[in-house]
């Protein structure tokens, strides 16, 4: 069994829609147990119990939300214990060229500092999934792919 947690913050519902699609994609992987949680309901124990952690945040001034940042700041208490887990990121932003990539990178940076494994993509959406405003069908498909690819990587690492 591979355990995936999708943690997200969402005010408008846009990032929440993306989180649901990410979770759906992860659930498509055999033997994947997927937990979808708002950041306010996520504990450090939840992160420790997961094989893969996928984090979604709205883009605020080119960075993750304060609630996501707070969870990652608190994760210093478990520093070193997330090493080898798989991580991924997704975001929704208010417009083009408004900081979506820097938001993804700010999340990924924290995952890498924990020693986590992050899989890029060669064919676009290199750092994770991003949508402008309300995610459309194509955006949600990319979110599903992100969830699936992350769960598959975590499952393959568990088999080794």
What pLDDT, on the 0 to 100 scale, is given for residue 157? 96
pLDDT in the model for residue 14: 98
- Judge contact between 77 and 30, C-beta under 8 A: no
Query: 3-state SS of 27-69?
Result: HCCCCEEEEEEEHHHCCHHHHHCCCEEEEEEECECCECCHHHH
Burial (Cβ within 10 Å: 0-12, 13-18, ≥19) of residue 94: middle
User: 2-159 architecture in CATH?
Assistant: 3-Layer(aba) Sandwich (3.40)
Q: Which of 40, 70, 59, 55 is nearest to 5 (CA)?
A: 55
Angle at the Cα of 104 (from 9 to 150), degrees rounded to 5?
Answer: 85
pLDDT tens, per residue, the chain with 160 residues: 999 999 999 999 999 999 999 999 999 999 999 999 999 999 999 999 999 999 999 999 999 999 999 999 999 999 999 999 999 999 999 988 889 999 999 999 999 999 999 999 998 899 999 999 999 999 999 999 999 999 999 999 997 6
| CA Rg value for the chain | 14
The CA distance from 130 to 127, in Å, is 9
Contacts of residue 30, defined as CB under 8 A and 6 or more positions apart, other chains included, come to 155
The pLDDT value given to residue 50: 98
Domain parsing of the chain, residue ranges: 2-159
Query: pLDDT at position 159, please?
Result: 79
pLDDT for 95: 85
Distance of alpha carbon 29 from alpha carbon 46, whole angstroms: 20
For the entire predicted model, the pTM comes to 0.97
Question: In this structure, how many other beta carbons lie within 10 angstroms of the beta carbon of residue 40?
Answer: 10
């Amino acid at each position: 069994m591979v355990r995936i947690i999708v943690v997200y913050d969402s005010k408008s519902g846009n990032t929440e829609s993306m989180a649901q699609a990410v979770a759906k994609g992860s659930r498509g992987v055999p033997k994947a147990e997927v937990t979808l949680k708002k950041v306010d309901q996520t504990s450090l124990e939840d992160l420790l119990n997961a094989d893969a952690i996928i984090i979604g945040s709205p883009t605020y001034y080119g960075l993750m939300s304060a609630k996501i940042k707070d969870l990652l700041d608190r994760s210093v208490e478990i520093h070193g214990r997330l090493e080898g887990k798989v991580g991924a990121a997704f975001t929704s932003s208010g417009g083009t060229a408004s900081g979506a990539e820097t938001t993804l990178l700010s999340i990924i940076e924290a995952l890498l500092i924990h020693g986590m494994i992050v899989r890029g993509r060669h064919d676009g959406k290199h750092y994770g999934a991003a949508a402008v405003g309300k995610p459309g069908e194509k955006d949600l498909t990319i979110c599903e792919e992100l969830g699936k690819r992350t769960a598959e990587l975590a499952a393959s690492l568990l088999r080794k």
